[in-house]
Chains A and B, each alone.
Chain A
Amino acid sequence: MKNGMSVLLSRIATPTRVGRRDFIIVAALAAIAFVVPYVAGTYQQEVGFRILQLGALAAAWNIAAGYTGLVSLGSAAFFGLGVYTMALASNAGLPIVLCMILAAVVAGLFALIVSPALFRLRGLYFTVGTLALAEALRIFVVNSPWFGGQAGIFLTARAPKAFELYWIALAIAVLVIVCVLVLLRSRWSYRMQAVRDDEDVASQLGVRTYRTKLWAFGLSGALIAIVGSVQALNQGIVQPNGGFGISWTIEIVSVAIIGGMGTKVGPWIGAVFIVLLGEFLIQFPEIHMAVVGVVLVLVIRFMPNGIWGTFTLALQKERNFS
């Protein structure tokens, strides 16, 4: 990505200093979110679940795309792996938490297996490669005899109630946030951002680019798979077009870009925006997605740093002047 030092990805919100304050804020917000089921009804819990789910997905995608420059359109592959791992493992009688861990492991292994081919691709070609990979995996699951084909697999585990799902999603959201914050505090974040801004220069400076990309891609995929495994519990039945459907990729990418790529808070802002817009247009799902597309075009053009990135930039300017 030599000449591609894109505005969309680099600079601004980059020097993210993560301090103890961030962890305290997360803990406080999580505590507030925890009591929601006691005061709100099932509908609010379901909307909350959607926000936490999409926010966690976009924040996980952001690790690879926003910080490391691996703009993947293959998120549906990892999501689907999580969905199917949960279905197969929980039907085999494993406890739910173990199934989630297994989903992460499967996704990490998958990232490891495909990385030799994918990481030879730079920039736009990487993006196309991931898109092809996700579609290939979907078609494979549809046609292969082991995964129940188009009809899918029913989960035998007890369907969780709305508040249980909400709490599971909250726990996973906290997990994702903590992963991102810890990552941003570590040296890894510098390596990742160096790879994003110029892979060749980073490599010259002694960054092991392949390993850095693999960790970022694998962690991102593993977290996406964990969220996917919860979606299997939510649905009670897993199907290739639901699990591996490109609509997941579309939602993840839209949420992250609208909120702000490469920012800590952006994905969550984007999730709130898209879920609330979806509730507003609940009668017209196609119109909802078309509007999301229009918003995406406008955001990329006029606010390339997303809602949160633009907001923090404005705040910084204000501070510099005063």
Chain B
Amino acid sequence: MNSIDPVGLTNTVLGGALLGGLIALSAVGLSLVLGVMKLVNLVHGQIVVLGAYMAYYLSAFWGISPLLALPIVFVLGFLFMAPVQRFILAPVARHGEEAGLLTTFALAIILENLFIRIFSGDSRSLDTIFSRETIAIGPINLPTIYLIGFGISLAVCLAVWALVTRTSFGRSLRASSEDPISAAIVGIHVSRIRWGTFALNGGLSAIGGVLIALCFSFTPSSGSEYLLTAFAIIVLGGLGNIMGTFVGGIALGIFQSLGAYFFGDGYRTFVGLVMLIVLLAIAPNGILNRRRSL
């Protein structure tokens, strides 16, 4: 790497930005749960992996293209996580915040080992007709799948943003997040809101996993990497700020691609992790955040 090639660098940065926006979708749910339930959901990464496997088997058994499978995967993810909150997490909430955190940690252990048992440790990837195509804009070449994923991610993030800011569910959600006791006093069913938020996290993370799996291969053990990447995005974008999360994803994608460009591909995740630690230490509420709450 003697001289920096401007076209290559632009290509890297644009690709990174698209990829980051795409990955941001998997962080939105985590951000909602952290904002509303004040819960660090350590099983998040495994749900992302689960979404990828769902799409993989839907395509392998019924030939459903991963992109068409997105609504199905969303519903499955939603249905999978709803009882987890109701029957496993809600009862331990009274034991304090570590209890919830460590319970999700235990769930992550269970799921990851079940994945290895059921799906084997092999690395898998999702294929669509766009997988090997690129779109050329002048000298810049971008993978088509990155553009499609970016578009889907943006659309879903906008939908979630509208849900949170424009609907009555969203109003209750914001109220429960800001002050659960007052929210309960004015008649908001806080536990139902939490249940809905957690299930929503399941659905969003699962489709986020499909998008990631369209770009990278995955294994049953990819979960912790996805979790930490999602965290870096949230911290960049600001807690509970949905469009901030999307922008944070783009920023992280650019930083990661620059890291990979200058230090080698192995350092892609490393850059994100170091950024996460530094950002947590200097700006725990995020650098893009203007308001603390949702």
Contact = CB atoms under 8 A, between A and B. Distances in A.
28 contacts: A1-B97, A5-B96, A6-B95, A9-B96, A117-B278, A117-B280, A117-B281, A120-B284, A121-B280, A124-B97, A124-B101, A127-B101, A129-B277, A129-B281, A133-B277, A135-B224, A143-B264, A143-B267, A246-B224, A250-B109, A286-B113, A289-B113, A290-B110, A290-B117, A296-B102, A300-B92, A300-B102, A304-B95
Interface stretch (B48-56, B157-165, B268-276): B268-276
Contacts of A127: 40, 101
A267 to B, nearest CB: 15
Given A120-B284, A301-B103, A9 B98 contact: yes
Interface in A256-288: 257, 284, 286-287
Contact of A140 (B112, B116, B270): B270
Given A9-B98, A123-B97, A124-B97, A297 B107 contact: yes
Contacts of B228: 131-132, 135
Given A117-B281, A286-B117, A8 B231 contact: no
B88 interface: yes
Interface of A: 1, 4-9, 71, 73, 116-118, 120-121, 123-125, 127-129, 131-133, 135-136, 139-140, 142-143, 246, 250, 253-254, 257, 284, 286-287, 289-290, 292-294, 296-297, 300-301, 304
B92 A301 contact: yes
Given A8-B95, A136-B270, A293 B101 contact: no
Which 3 pairs of residues, A with B, have the shortest CB-CB distance? A6-B96, A293-B110, A296-B106
Given A289-B113, A293-B113, A296-B109, A139 B273 contact: yes
Given A6-B95, A143-B267, A304-B99, A297 B231 contact: no
Interface string B209-241: 000000000000000110010011000000000
B97 A301 contact: no
A253 B102 contact: yes
B110 A294 contact: yes
Contacts of A131: 224, 228
A250 B97 CA distance: 19
Contacts, number: 144
A304 B106 CA distance: 14
A135 B278 CA distance: 14
Where chain B touches its partner, the secondary structure class is helix
A116 B102 contact: no
By size class, the interface of chain B is 35 or more
Task: From B106, B112, B263, name the one whose CB has the most chain A CB atoms within 10 angstroms.
Answer: B106
Contacts of B138: none
A124 B40 contact: yes
A293 B269 contact: no
Contacts of A8: 95-96, 98-99, 102
B95 A7 contact: yes
B91 interface: yes
B266 A139 contact: yes
Given A6-B95, A136-B273, A304-B95, A293 B280 contact: no
Contacts of B280: 117, 120-121, 125, 128-129, 132
B105 interface: yes
B105 A73 contact: yes
B114 interface: yes
Contacts of A289: 109, 112-113
